[in-house]
A and B are shown apart, each in its own frame.
Chain A
Amino acid sequence: MAQQFDVIGSRAPRLDGPAKATGQAIFADDLHFPGMLHGAILQSPHPHARVLSVDASAARRLPGVKAVITAAEVGTIKYGVSPARYDETLFATEKVRYVGDEIAAVAAVDLATALEALSLIKVEYDPLPAVFDPLEALAEGAPLIHDEFPGNVCAEVHQEFGDVEAALAKADYVRTDSLKNKRQDGGFIETHCAVAAPDLNGRVTLYSATQVPHYVQRNVAMVLGLDLSKLRVIKPYVGGGFGPKAEATPLDYCSTALALATGKPVKMAYTREQVFLHSRARHQFIHEMTTGVTRDGKLLALKHRAILDGGAYTSFGIATVYYSGSLLGGPYRMANMKYDGLRAFTNKPACGAQRGHGGVIARALFERQLDLIAKELGIDPVRMRLENMMEVGDVTCNDLNMSSLGMRECIEAVRDGSDWGAKKGKLPRGKGIGAACGFFVSGAGYPIYRSETYHSTVTLKVDEDGGGIKVLSASAEIGQGSDTVLGMIAAESLGVPLDLVRVESGSTDFGVDLGAYSSRQTLMSGHACRDAALMAKNRILGSVAAELGVDPADLDFKNGVLISLGPVLDIAPLRTRYRKEHRGWPNLPDGEALSFAEAARMAFLAQGSIVGTGQYKPPQLGGKYKGAAVGTSPAYGCSAQVVEVAVDLDTGQVRVESITDAHDCGRAINRTAVEGQMEGSISMGLGEALFEEVKFDAKGRVVNPSLGEYHIPTIQDMPAMKCIVVESDEPNGPFGAKEVGEGAIMPTIPAILNAVFDATGAVITELPLTPERVLRAIREAQGKE
């Protein structure tokens, strides 16, 4: 660990900070092109209906309308997220399956005209009975949403590792608990937006507010029947994604199709209400769990079942239902685990991936149950966790390999940082403290479509004059700071200061990168970036070594200057040549050592442009069983939190007063960015625990599709936060780095639940913790006392 870094581990300011702070950063909706049209989508007002006819003739005749597209124009190629479940078409032909299902799209000279045109499209519907509750959808006789999926079963998972029944039979104590959350929204600030701009050679550039330019490019090309080479996807700055922007949206398909139909640039954006209708956010889970332990709290077996309300289409749902099981494999030692997961179709917008994909409610219930077990056995819950903790090198029963694991350090850090010992069990009624752990992948081990593709490629080019470095990556900076992380990795690898590095990312022209999901970019894009930088550096050092007559292995760069690990260097001849090229220039390098710029210029003179390339795909990962691809990852991040709450015993209001948070992110590339993810995760977890719920009326319409009525935490709801970065050295990560983006959310909900239990004795089995629900639970608990 004695390795010294010059850039990595610092608090370097974000590369995009100035542009964002001054409002100069360009987001999709800021884009304007000459002659640009505005598009809009017609969405179904019915949750479930047969589409008898679509008549767009009046809309087409409206002055200012340039194109109307329906299934008749764009066809019915099926798509989705996983090719195993392509179950969507761009426009409904036979049926609509939720309020918001797409029927047609229009491009017109302005948005008002486009909206007016939508109102002129006549659709004849034959309403069908609809079903909104997942349990009702699974019951016999429920309306069938997709003919191909009998019983409205979208996906089923049945996994058993070890022998759960035998282990439970041996347990001294077994208990069963349940937890139900509510459908959530991502709550990002920027709504989805896409602008498609055709050129004169039959190609289109699609600017999209997305987390995944690569998947958008593939899906849009597939659905519209385009060659991949005809479609370039560029992600401008993005105002948050959190998962719901991790797949191509109807805006992407429609704007591209309309741009091709009209030959004009077309902009389309969702209103906030449409963000709720598109959804692809957190599922509702109905989770039940049985855990068996020995008398002294050793975990023996876990048996659990989850039912997911998927909405009308699959989206990410197969991965979600698998993650809900697989992520409980760690971080505790447990030899036996059985999981039955079932994702139901309902007539609501489709759910997808959201921060902590699939694992959040399973984790919340399990960590909640650990506390209930600890209480029953009279063991301190923190101690019980420590005693069951895995160590580096352990492999879980479902084959997840703990190549690094700072879990113990995290728990100890939050225990000591929160003064747990002085508080647990000693707070007055109404005040409570609770702890929980969490655990998450650092990048999905496999791409969404079956392929041996590299997950990330990076091209790094040194300026011909030697003065700067450009990193080209198709990765997605969505506000999480990935450009800064890649820049820092490039700078550290080359041995130059960060300000020599420029990062350009987010374009499919720059290579392959699967994008910003599953907390993968620091590890995967970071790997490719480091390798590209090392290749470029070696090419420069090769030329310089040849000029100086030394072994390249004896040379390196540090802080932007050439250093020798061997003989003393005579750099005078090289400097003289460089100076001759720059006669009349002020500020030429004159230090004792050769600067990176001088060295890189010499290398260019010898070899031409200096380019390095890097690529990454995960090594062969464990697990031969069905579904092993969901959960296996090159590395796992982990975290622990201690939450303190104050509960108003008269109203049931919960106030989270403080959170002590520790996260093992491997080696922190940028500490401020790590803390930013930790704080952001807390905010999202707190919102899901206390406030957030997408509500529907009896006709399947969202009742609260605005940030006024869908409550995400405000700054006043946030607790005091103490964020402790725990560093392990992850062998599979670049410079030892791994995830923090999603895993950090895992402990928040259960730690809040545990603290509320500590404060009041209330056992709460349904989220969010509205004052009304909490008060009811407090009264029930009092009734039992």
Chain B
Amino acid sequence: MLLPRFDYQRPRDLSEALGLLAQAGDQARPLAGGTDLLVNLKLGKVTCRLVVDLDGVAELKDVSGPGEAPSLGALLSAAWLAKQAGGLGLMGLAEAGGVLGSPQVRNRATIGGNLCTARPAGDLCTALLALDARVVLAGASGRRELPVEQFITGPGLTAIAPGEILLAARPAPGATAGGSAFEKLGLRRTMEIALVSAAVWVQSEADGRTVKAARVALGAVGPTPLLARAAATALVGRPAGTEAFAAAAQAAAEAARPIDDHRGSAEYRRQMVAVLTRRALERAWSRALEATA
């Protein structure tokens, strides 16, 4: 459990960072909060010759202004989200940030790190998926954007290319017109990797009754955070309320692909998907009404 030897660089801007990464090829790793990277280096799950600390790259902490389409810099921390994302109309993301790890971990853990680690249970990944977020990537040959759904390709796997840096996560421009919520089930109240999590986003028609649009994302019940499309279909165009939420919860449970492991059975996880989805929908809906009003 000793930290292996590596070189450390702290570039002062993006082009310097990209340059360092380009030089070292797959022998370099960007460092954000380090809450995954340092653990994995110690465990020998990741090896690298160079660690490039992104902390000096100011634009990675940029946030969109009021009225703009939401954009969140990759280096923003879970603690920041817990405090600030609600004010941006992204309560689901605030809730996810607030239940990630412990206060110390939240102070370090970043959006970019959570996305690039791409755990099936990643709390921020799941919350961003429900917000139909896209990631912005920068590399030597320019910038590109991908939906989170395509960015995360498998457990621990992403579409990021060697030398690329994740700049920001951008929830769908219309995300703030709806309401979102995040539910997480674990053994303890804190310091828990989700046994199951559910992130939902819903938007109300002007009538304040009918669901206009919806997204339901599930964590820890598949190889990646999953989008339960059938759950959204069960909601859209129907009056919000117990019946629709139950139908959506049921559809979400069916969409889940949980496995048995030492932390819980697949069957229990599937049942909990329904419970968490329903609870998240209830909360998200009341937020959606506020957003519509």
A105 within 8 A of B: no
Answer whether residue A744 sits at the interface, using C-beta atoms and an 8 A cutoff. Answer: no
Shortest distance between the CB of B197 and any CB in chain A (Å): 12
Contact of A651 with B262 in the complex, beta carbons under 8 Å? no
Question: Contacts A111-B2, A651-B272, A770-B264 given: A714-B185 contact, CB under 8 Å?
Answer: no
Closest to A768 in B: B187
- A704: CB under 8 A from chain B? yes
Contacting pair B2 A112 (CB below 8 A): yes
Q: How far is the CB of B104 from chain A (nearest CB, A)?
A: 12
State whether A770 and B187 are in contact (beta carbons under 8 Å apart), knowing that A112-B2, A775-B268 are contacts in the complex.
yes
Q: Is the CB of A704 within 8 A of B262?
A: yes
A653 touches B185 (CB 8 A): yes
Interface contact B264-A650, CB-CB below 8 Å: no
B188 within 8 A of A: yes
Q: Could you tell me if A711 and B2 are in contact, using CB atoms closer than 8 angstroms?
A: no
- Whether a CB of chain B sits under 8 angstroms from the CB of A772 is yes
B230 smallest CB distance to A (angstroms) = 21
Q: For the side of the interface on B, what is the size category? A: 10 to 19
Quick one: which of A111, A716, A772 has the most chain B CB within 10 A? A772
> Contact at B188–A772, with CB atoms within 8 Å?
no
Given contacts A112-B2, A775-B268, contact A713 B275 (CB under 8 A): no
Determine whether the beta carbon of A708 is less than 8 Å from that of B191. Answer: yes
Q: Please tell me if B15 contacts chain A, counting CB pairs below 8 Å.
A: no
Number of interface residues of A (CB under 8 A): 25
B275 touches A711 (CB 8 A): no
Known: A695-B262, A772-B265. A716 touches B190 (CB 8 A): yes
Inter-subunit contact A650/B275 (CB<8 Å): yes
Using an 8 Å CB-CB cutoff, how does the interface string of B262-293 with A read, 1 for contact, 0 for none?
Answer: 10110010011001000000000000000000
A771 with B185: CB separation less than 8 A: yes
Q: Which residue of A lies closest to B185 (CB)?
A: A651
* Measured CA separation A659–B228 after assembly (Å): 41
* Interface hits, B189-247 → A, CB 8 Å: 189-193, 195
Instruction: Chain A residues near B191: list those with CB within 8 A.
Output: 708, 711, 714
Give every chain A residue within 8 A of B185 (Cβ-Cβ): 651, 653, 771
Q: For A716, what are the chain B residues with a Cβ–Cβ distance below 8 Å?
A: 188-190
8 Å CB contact of B189 from A651, A717, A771: A717
Chain A CB within 8 A of B1 CB: yes
B-side contacts of A25, CB under 8 Å? none
CB distance from A199 to the nearest CB of B (A): 30
Q: Which residues of B contact A720 (CB under 8 A)?
A: none
B102 contacts chain A at the CB level, 8 A cutoff: yes
The answer for the CA separation of A711 and B272 in the assembled complex, in Å, is 20
Contact A713 B2 (CB under 8 A): no
**Contact flags A668-705 to B (C-beta < 8 A → 1, else 0):** 00000000000000000000001100010000000110
Q: Which residues 392-443 in A have Cβ within 8 Å of B in the complex? A: none
CB distance from B107 to the nearest CB of A (A): 16
Q: Given contacts A115-B2, A653-B185, is CB(A714)–CB(B190) below 8 Å? A: yes
Are B1 and A271 touching (Cβ within 8 A)?
A: yes
Compute how far the CA of A775 lies from the CA of B265 in the bound complex, rounded to whole angstroms. Answer: 12
Report Cα–Cα, A711/B192, bound state, in Å: 9
Which residues of chain A are near B2, meaning CB under 8 Å?
A: 111-112, 115
* Nearest CB of B to A100, in Å: 15
Cα-based distance from A213 to B209 in the complex (angstroms): 72
> Nearest Cβ distance between residue A769 and chain B, in whole angstroms?
10
Complex contact B262–A772 (CB within 8 A): no
Q: Are B187 and A771 in contact (CB under 8 A)?
A: yes
* B-contacting residues, A703-754, CB 8 Å: 703-704, 708, 711, 713-714, 716-717
* Cβ distance A357 to chain B, nearest Cβ, rounded Å: 26
- Bound CA–CA A111/B2 (angstroms): 8
Residue of A nearest to B39 (CB): A708
Q: Which of B165-187 contact A (CB under 8 A)?
A: 185, 187
Is there contact, CB below 8 Å, between A713 and B188? yes
Most A CB contacts (10 A, CB to CB) among B187, B271, B275 go to B187
**Smallest CB–CB gap between B112 and chain A, Å?**
22
Set of chain B residues within 8 Å of A717, measured between Cβ atoms: 188-190
Assembly CA distance A690 to B192 (angstroms): 14
Closest Cβ neighbor of B1 among chain A residues: A271
Give the distance in Å from the alpha carbon of A425 to the alpha carbon of B109 in the complex.
46
Chain B residues whose C-beta falls within 8 Å of the C-beta of A653 in the assembled complex: 185
Q: A715 vs B2: C-alpha distance in the bound complex, in angstroms?
A: 29
Is A691 in contact with B187, judged by CB distance below 8 angstroms?
A: yes
Identity of the chain A residue whose Cβ is nearest the Cβ of B278 in the assembled complex: A650
CB distance from B260 to the nearest CB of A (A): 11
Give the CA-CA distance A650 to B272 in the complex, in Å: 8
A311 to B147, CA, bound (A): 51
Q: List A contacts of B190 (CB < 8 A).
A: 714, 716-717
How near does chain B come to A45, taking the closest CB pair, in angstroms? 16
Complex: chain A residue closest to B190, CB-CB: A716
Using a CB–CB cutoff of 8 Å, the interface residues on chain A facing chain B are: 111-112, 115, 271-273, 650-651, 653, 655, 690-691, 695, 703-704, 708, 711, 713-714, 716-717, 770-772, 775
A-B contact pairs, 22 of them (CB 8 A): A111-B2, A271-B1, A650-B275, A651-B275, A653-B185, A655-B189, A690-B187, A703-B262, A708-B191, A711-B191, A714-B102, A714-B189, A716-B188, A716-B189, A716-B190, A717-B189, A770-B187, A770-B264, A771-B187, A771-B268, A772-B268, A775-B271
A-B pairs with the 7 shortest C-beta distances? A716-B189, A772-B268, A650-B275, A716-B190, A271-B1, A695-B262, A714-B190
